Chain A
Amino acid sequence: MLTILFDGIAYGMLLFVLACGLAVTLGLMNFVNLAHGSFAMAGGYITLILVNRIGVPFFAALPIAFLVTALIGAVFERTLYVHVYAKPHLDQVLFTIGLVFMSVAAVDYVMGSQQQYIQLPDMLHGQFTVLGVNVGKYRLLIIGICGLLTIALQLILAHTRFGSRLRAAVDDPRVASGLGIHVNGVFAVTFAVGSGLAGLGGALGAEILGLDPTFPLKFMIYFLIVVTVGGTSSITGPFLASLLLGIGDVAGKYYVPKFGAFVIYTIMIVVLIWRPQGLFARATAR
């Protein structure tokens, strides 16, 4: 029971790191980025290449995956995404689906379509028991890293100048730019960091979520649920939504394996009927 809770929390934390970038970009620019999973996949494959082929230590590969994905994100943002912000949602959806299809086929071409595994260091294998709870070492690592990241993100948002600029821009981009905040610049940085976090999540999650070219398609719905259930006005909402989704998914797959896949959709439907604007969303005009 507690083991499932533990696994669920690890899973949820992972989902949060994967999806929080999406939540912020969505809240900031009202931009629907379905290709967010592609960045996560990029992070996973970068780590795979670094660790399995070049022999970089796993812990050194993680920050590299973050940085490279962030860089890819920044380049894409400045060259392609920037043209699509002002367009209607339909265009954004089409554009990002196109990117997803391209990334899926490109990764398939370069890396092959089979499921791949990152060689983890030996110290991360296995599990130990604390007070009757089976603690997987790798999952503990995920909770540790993601927990630290969450705290760091919260601190950055709440206590730095950049954080307050970002919050101002999310609240009302027009007024924020009127006050001299460079909204586009803030957004570019946020987009890059969000992509980087997705890449880090993809790298960490390859062991649990699996890594193959269809990754962006498989997890698109998870990201959408996190963002819609959690709302986009803060990072607390997506965080709680991720935990709910992670624990629900793991528990569902464990207790009712036959219907495990439906648990997340049930959560989604219940939330939608109960709170159409999302569980933690503030009632805003937008």
Chain B
Amino acid sequence: MSRPLTYEVSRFLAERARWHPLEIAFWVAALASVFLLPAKHLILTEITVLALFALSLDLILGYSGIISLGHAAYFGFAGYVAGLLAKHAIVSEPVLALVVSGIAAAVLGFVTSFLVLRGSDLTRLMVTLGVSLVLREVANQLDTITGGADGLQGIVMAPVLGLFAFDISGHVAYVYCLLVLFVLFVVARRVVNSPFGLSLRSVKGNPLRASAVGISVNGRLVGIYTLAAGYAGIAGALLTQTTQFVSLDVLSFERSADVLLALVIGGTGYLYGGIIGAVLFKLMQDYLANLTPQYWQFWIGLVLVVIVLVGRDRMTGWLDQVRTYLARVSPRATRRVGAVGASPVDGD
């Protein structure tokens, strides 16, 4: 009795997790940008870092429905860790330093997750915002270690794996970031398509029913929050490593808000939203900052208001149409339509 069922389940999971041609095309395009757009590598690096950061936010927002106003806490914390590791030559090899910073952020995420998981949406907003503000204040006060408001200066990065030195035009940095993003994306994809990821979706859908079928709701949320904090940390460490500088700005509220906006532009709950959103957000930011250097925040705000008034579902609606079309041309993709659909995040 149980064997055919487990077989069915594993077949279903494998079906969900299969790579779609469109996804492969996406990554081929990303790879092509390395060779085709060498002059744009500096902004592409920024996009990649933001994409990874948005991906980490998607893990908690899109897959478990936690709204965070302070995701920059983990980003900035690991940014400082990476900066200090490199400055004092504690761990000078970038990849290893990246892993250490990511783990540091994940530990912070694990500890703070117990605060975040208490109470309602409103409490979560306050706690996530509070955590990032506390860290910012700590970084500000410990100016002997962090450089305070001046930022942490004098970071010199060793070559990646001891072979590839960072160059001034950012080619190595871009390839490095893109590879990290790809590896972490594959891991995240694996996680959300695993039974763990499925149980997260059920927790997001209805925590009460999820716990009734035997899912430990808090355990799942702690798990994904820790993972997302680690991801955000790696994004922050990447930023430090590629810019060789870190300042209080990495912990600011604006950074948390920016990543939220980037993710929302791309759509939540299907992993690519963060990456697509990061591209659109950076292009938009670049354009607006050229237009009105000082007041571009106004237009970012306007975009947010318009997105909400128009409706997020309609903003990302074109993606659904693409999927429906794909489902028609390849029957194999039909099951995916429901699985990867950008479902609206319910806050209740």
Contact = CB atoms under 8 A, between A and B. Distances in A.
Contact of A83 (B118, B126, B301, B309): B309
Given A102-B302, A106-B298, A89 B126 contact: no
Interface string A83-102: 11001111111110111111
B194 interface: no
Nearest to A106: B298
A265 B257 contact: no
Given A265-B130, A268-B130, A101 B123 contact: no
A32 B126 CA distance: 11
Contacts of B345: 88, 90
A259 interface: yes
Contacts of B125: 32, 34, 93, 224
Contact of A95 (B122, B129, B304): B304
A88 B348 contact: yes
Contact of A272 (B61, B69, B118, B344): B118
A149 interface: no
A221 B73 CA distance: 15
Counting chain A residues whose Cβ lies within 8 A of the other chain, the interface size class is 35 or more
B119 interface: yes
A92 B308 CA distance: 8
Nearest to A113: B294
Given A108-B295, A272-B118, A221 B305 contact: no
A134 interface: no
Main secondary structure of the interface of A (DSSP, over half): helix
Contact of B344 (A26, A88, A269): A88
B298 A101 contact: yes
B295 A80 contact: no
Interface string A247-286: 0000000000011011001001100110011000000000
A228 B122 CA distance: 7
A91 B312 contact: yes
Contacts of B129: 220-221, 224
Interface residues of B, number: 43
A109 B264 contact: no
A268 B127 CA distance: 8
B30 interface: no
A261 to B, nearest CB: 5
A228 B123 contact: yes
A104 interface: yes
Given A221-B133, A262-B137, A90 B67 contact: yes
A169 interface: no
A225 B126 CA distance: 7
Contact of B257 (A101, A102, A225): A101
B141 interface: yes
A221 B130 contact: yes
Contact of A94 (B115, B121, B122, B264): B264
A71 interface: no
A221 B134 CA distance: 11
Contact of B308 (A95, A103, A220, A273): A95
B304 A97 contact: yes
B123 to A, nearest CB: 5
A68 interface: no
B15 to A, nearest CB: 30
17 contacts: A83-B309, A84-B308, A88-B347, A89-B348, A93-B125, A95-B309, A97-B257, A97-B304, A98-B301, A100-B301, A106-B298, A228-B122, A261-B141, A262-B137, A273-B118, A276-B118, A276-B123
A-B interface, 6 closest residue pairs, ranked by CB to CB distance from nearest? A89-B347, A98-B304, A101-B301, A105-B298, A102-B301, A224-B126
